[in-house]
Amino acid sequence: MDEHRCGTVAMAGRPNVGKSTLLNRLLGSKIAIVTPKPQTTRDRILGVLTLVHSQILFQDAPGIHQSTKALNRRMVSAALAVLEDCDVVLMVTDARDPVKDLARDEHVLEKVRACGRPAVLAINKVDLLRKPHLLPLIDAYGKRHPFKAIVPVCALDGDGQDGLLSELNLLLPPGPALFPADELSDRPVRFLASEFIREKVMLFTRQEVPYSTAVCIDQFKEPEPPGVINIIATIHLERPSQKAIVIGKGGAMLKRIGTAAREEMEALLGRKVFLELFVRVEEGWASSEKGLNKVGY
């Protein structure tokens, strides 16, 4: 019989390469929010995948990038902490990066090398790549780092995910499962609820609004016996003009955000949800440590 294995796999890569999409695909459930905009993921989140002979604890994290803003510095340090504290690294890249531009990943590779853990590379978004470009890309990455495996994947349709899982499994240390088999994440559902709201704001608004949004859950009430879950949340923004955008004409935008977020919550919880949203201005919260604490970061 196979020995049971359990370990942490840190997801690393530049913003927007598809780390969170890949995590959701591997888990078969949406726990990490995804948008076409960079810097969607702000904090680490553990996704638990329980297989027959192993349990893989995926640490999703913000993208590794350079910035001076308080929020971004906090994000990058979360990404680096995840690397320091893992058994295996799953580095993710975008298949569309031309071979001659691989220097873009050098900053991430430096961190992967520094942490000294075995690493697997997932070349994601292969659906957008013409086949002849794939082999040179694999070859070029192989020359840059002694990856234990390089696996082309498509996080959108799951292409390549089984091969990726077997490569990761091989690198896990032996050990018993650390989470119950039905547990998907180390984050409470109220965190996931706040993230779904932030995702919809990021998807439906433009320019700086997505980066000025923080969401706090004020109330999360599960009735006994189980019925409709009541959630009250506040969307914090940095300026009054942003508050006006998020509320929209006659409250239309806020309604759209609320409906879409509620549908995600109902899908995750398998229960009806009643969601009430408030919008507040917390001047410049993303620029200072004090502001971050005020909105719950």
Ligand X SMILES: Nc1nc2c(ncn2[C@@H]2O[C@H](COP(=O)(O)OP(=O)(O)O)[C@@H](O)[C@H]2O)c(=O)[nH]1
Smallest distance, Å, CB 5 to ligand X?
26
> Within positions 122 to 161, which residues make up the interface with ligand X, using CB under 6 A?
124-125, 127-128, 154-156
Q: Does 19 bind ligand X (CB under 6 A)?
A: yes
Please tell me the distance from the alpha carbon of residue 46 to that of residue 48, in angstroms, as a whole number.
6
Please tell me the distance from the alpha carbon of residue 154 to that of residue 278, in angstroms, as a whole number.
37
A 10 A CB-CB count for 103 gives: 10
Q: Does 41 bind ligand X (CB under 6 A)?
A: yes
Q: Considering only residues 8, 20, 24, 194, which one is a binding residue for Mg ion as defined by CB under 5 A?
A: 20
Q: In the block, which residue shows the tokens 């076409």?
A: 36
Q: What tokens were used for 201? A: 């704001």
Which entry of ligand X, Mg ion, none binds 184, CB below 5 to 8 A by partner kind? none
Q: Which is nearer to ligand X, 65 or 239 (CB)?
A: 65
Smallest distance, Å, CB 276 to ligand X?
27
Q: Does 72 bind Mg ion (CB under 5 A)?
A: no
Please tell me the distance from the alpha carbon of residue 192 to that of residue 126, in angstroms, as a whole number.
29
How far from 64 is each of 30, 143, 151, 182, 247, CA to CA, in Å? 22, 21, 21, 31, 32
Q: Which is nearer to ligand X, 21 or 72 (CB)?
A: 21
Q: Which is nearer to ligand X, 210 or 291 (CB)?
A: 210
Q: Which is nearer to ligand X, 197 or 247 (CB)?
A: 197
Question: Taking Cα atoms as reference points, which of 243, 196, 204, 236 lies closest to residue 220?
Answer: 196
Which entry of Mg ion, ligand X, none binds 205, CB below 5 to 8 A by partner kind? none
Q: Does 49 bind ligand X (CB under 6 A)?
A: no
Please tell me the distance from the alpha carbon of residue 60 to that of residue 186, in angstroms, as a whole number.
11
> Within positions 20 to 39, which residues make up the interface with ligand X, using CB under 6 A?
20-21, 34-36
> Within positions 58 to 77, which residues make up the interface with ligand X, using CB under 6 A?
63
Q: Does 213 bind Mg ion (CB under 5 A)?
A: no
The dihedral over CA atoms of 137, 120, 74, 212, expressed in degrees to the nearest 10, equals 50
Smallest distance, Å, CB 82 to Mg ion?
12
Smallest distance, Å, CB 225 to ligand X?
37
Please tell me the distance from the alpha carbon of residue 162 to that of residue 28, in angstroms, as a whole number.
12
> Within positions 151 to 210, which residues make up the interface with ligand X, using CB under 6 A?
154-156
Please tell me the distance from the alpha carbon of residue 22 to that of residue 18, in angstroms, as a whole number.
6
Q: What residues make contact with Mg ion under the rule CB under 5 A? A: 19-20, 41
